[in-house]
Structure 1
Amino acid sequence: MILVTGATGTVGRLVTAGLAAAGRPVRAFTRDAARAGLGPGVEVAEGDLDRPESVRAALDGVDALFALTAGPDAPRHEALLAAELRRRPVRRVVKLSSVAADRPAAGSYGLAHATAERDFARTGAEWTALRAAGFMSNVLQWRGSVLAERAVHQTYGGVPRAVVDPADVAAAAVVCLTTAGHGGRVYRLTGPQALTAPQQAERLSALLGHPLRYVEAPRRAAFEAMTGGGLPPAFADGLLDALADPDPARGGTPLPTVQDLTGRPPGTFDAWLARHRAAFTAR
C-alpha cells in the first residue's frame, strides 16, 4: 500500500491517479473524504496532519509514502511523518521538495525542505527527494489581475526559471515509488526552457490574443500582500528569499531528469498554458 499525503492537491491528485492507473494499491490522505473525488481504485483515509492519531491510522499497512505538505506548517507536519516512519517498517519514501533546498539552502523555506529531507533519510526507509524548480501552475496566481486589469504582477520576475509541469513531477514520483534504484537519490526536476516572468507573460498574452502589462512588484509590496492574505511573516520572507536567488543551478538551467526518469520529454510551458487557457478567460 502506498500512502499519498496532499492527495487532493495539484501534484498529489496526479500521483494518486498515476498509482491507481498502474494498478498499485494507493491510499489518499485527505481532510474530507466525501469531497475527495479521487475515482475508483483509491482508498481514502480521512485525517489531518495536525491530528497525529489520524496519521498513525493512515500509515497502518503502508510500505511506501509520497510526502507532500505545503504552507507554514509543513516543517511540523513533515517532522511528524518522519517520526512515525521511524516506528514502522515503511520501505520507501519519496518527498516532494524544492531546489531551494540545494546547498546552501535558500532562506528559511529552503532550509525547511532540507531539514525534512534529512529527517526522512534518517527513518531507515529508502528515501528520494524530488526537488522541483517551481511549477508552471504557479502562474494561476496571476488569474485575478489578468482578468481584472490585463496585467501580471510578479516579484523577482527577472530571474529565469525552468518551471516544470506538475504532471511531470507526478510521473517522476510514480516511477520513484514503484521501481527500485532511487534510494538516497536527489532529483532536480525542471521544464525544458528557462523563462523569466515577463517572458511567461508574453506567452500567455499570445495565447489569449491581447496584450498583458507586466508589473515588477517590489518585495515590500509582495510581502504585505502575502501577510495580508494570512501567511506568517517569517514564512513570507522565506518564500521571497527563495524567489530572489539568481543562481542558475537552482532551477534556472533545464535538466534532463524528467526524461531520464519517465522516458519522455518534459512538457513545455506553452503546452501547459494551452491546457489551462480557460482559467484566464472565464470569470
Structure 2
Amino acid sequence: MIAVIGASGNVGRVVTRRLVGLGSRPRCLTRDPARSALGPDVEVVTGDLGGPTGLDGLLTGARAVFVVTAGPDAPDHDAAVARAVARHGVRQVVKVSSVAALPPVNDPYGAAHLAAEEAYRRTGAACTFLRPAAFMTNTLQWAWSISAENTVYQAFGELRQAVVDPADVAEVAVRALTGPGHEGRTYTLTGPEALTARERARRIAGALGRPLTFVDAPPAAARRAMTEAGLPAGYVDGLLASQGDPDPARGGTPLPTVAEVTGCPPRTFDAWVAAHVRQFT
C-alpha cells in the first residue's frame, strides 16, 4: 500500500489520481475529507501533521509513502513524518524537496529542505528525492492583480527559471513509487525552457489577448507583503534568498530529467498557460 501526504496539493493530487488509475488504492492523509474530495477509490485518514494523530493510521502497513510539505512548519512536519516512517518500518520514501537543497546550501530555506532529506535518509528507508525548480502554478499568485489592475508584481523579475509543471513532478514521483531503479536517487526537475518572470507575464498577456504591465517589485516590498500576510519573518527571508539565488544550477538551466524518467518531454509554459488561462480572468 502507498501512503500519500499532501494529496490535496498541486503535486499530491495528481500523484493520487495516477496511482488510482494504475489500479492502486492509495491511503491519503487529510484534515478535511469532505473538502479534499479525493474520491471513493482512495482510503482517507483524517489527521494533521501538526497534531498527535494521523501519521500512525496513515503509515501502518504502508510499503511506501509520498511526501509533500510546505510553509514555515514544514521542518517540524518532516521531522514528525520521518519518525513515523522509522517507527512503522516503511520501506520507501519519495519526497518533494527543492532545488534550494542543492549543495552548497546558501539560505535557511534550502537548509530546511536538505535537513529534511537527511532526516528521511536516517530512517533506513530507500529514498528518492525530487528537487523541482519553481512550479508553473506559482504564477497563479498573479491572478488577483491581473484581474484587478492588468499588472504583475514580482521580485527578481529578470532571473531565469526553467519553471516546471507540478503534473510532471507528480509523474516522476509515480514512476519512483511504482517502478524499480529509483531508490537512492535525487532528481532535479525542470521545465523545457528558462524564462524570466517578465517573459512569463508576457506569455500570459498573449494568451489573454491584452497587454499587462510588469513591475519588478523590490525584495523589501515583497518581504513586507508576505510578513503582513502572516508569514514569519525568518521564513520569508529564507524564501526570498532562495528565490533570488542567481545560480543557474538551482532551476535556471533546463534539464532532461523529466523526459529521462518518464519517457515524455516536460510540459511547456505556453501549454500550461493555455490550460489555465481562465484562472487569470
| TM-score, normalised by the number of residues in structure 1 | 0.98
SS at structure 2 position matched to 1:52: coil
Q: Match for 1:274: what amino acid?
A: A
Amino acid at match of 2:12: G
Cross-structure match for 2:49 = 49
Report the equivalent of 1:14: 14
Counterpart of 1:279 in structure 2 is 279
Aligned-pair CA distance for 1:52: 3.1
Question: In the alignment, is the contact (CA less than 8 A) between 1:158 and 1:197 conserved in 2?
Answer: yes
Report the count of equivalent residues: 281
Counterpart Cα distance in 1 of 2:23 and 2:263: 19
User: Match of 1:182, SS?
Assistant: coil
Q: What corresponds to 1:113 in structure 2?
A: 113
Q: Give the partner amino acid of 2:187.
A: Y
Which residue identity does 1:231 align to in structure 2?
L
Secondary structure, in 3 states, of the residue corresponding to 1:246? coil
Q: Does 1:101 align with 2:101?
A: yes
Unaligned runs of 5+ in 1: none
Q: Deviations over 1:230-258 (max 9, x none)?
A: 10000000110001101111100000110
Opposite residue 42 of structure 2, the aligned amino acid is V
Contact 1:45 1:58 in 2 (8 A): yes
Asked if the contact 1:52/1:80 (under 8 Å) is kept, the reply is: no
Q: Which residue of 2 aligns with 1:147?
A: 147
Aligned twin of 1:196: 196
Q: Which residue in the other structure is 2:127 paired with?
A: 127
Runs of 4+ that moved beyond 4 A? none
For the residue of structure 2 that corresponds to 1:4, the secondary structure is strand
Q: Secondary structure at the match of 2:88?
A: coil
Opposite residue 129 of structure 2, the aligned amino acid is A
What is residue 265 of structure 1 aligned with on the other side?
A: 265
Normalising by structure 2, report the TM-score: 0.98
Identity, % of aligned positions: 55
Letter in 1 for 2:40: P
Q: CA RMSD in A?
A: 0.8
What does 1:55-66 align with in structure 2 at a 5 Å threshold?
A: 55-66=55-66
User: Contact 1:63/1:91 (CA < 8 Å) preserved in 2?
Assistant: yes
1:28 aligns with 2:28: yes
Q: Distance in 1 between matches of 2:102 and 2:250?
A: 7
